[in-house]
Amino acid sequence: MVQISYLTKRGAVYYARMDVPEDLVPILKTQTRKQSLKTKDEAEAKRRL
């Protein structure tokens, strides 16, 4: 079974990743949105996610 995670790490900081719905892709011009969770702690990142 595959587990999908919306939590990614770039350098030391954790980021949230969300897929953009198909009907909004032409407007936002991207298939995914990323936002910094502004934490280096994995447990805190999971809570903020």
Please write the tens of the pLDDT for every residue from 2-13: 556 799 999 999
HSE at residue 22, side-chain half, CA atoms within 13 A, is 0
| pLDDT higher than 60, residue 1 | no
Residue 20: count other Cβ atoms within 10 Å of its Cβ. 14
The residue behind tokens 């994995």 is: 42
pLDDT at 16: 94
pLDDT at 3: 59
13: part of which helix (H) or strand (E)? strand 13-19
Strands 7-10 and 13-19: antiparallel
- The answer to whether 6 and 16 are in contact (CB under 8 A) is yes
Average pLDDT over residues 13-19: 93
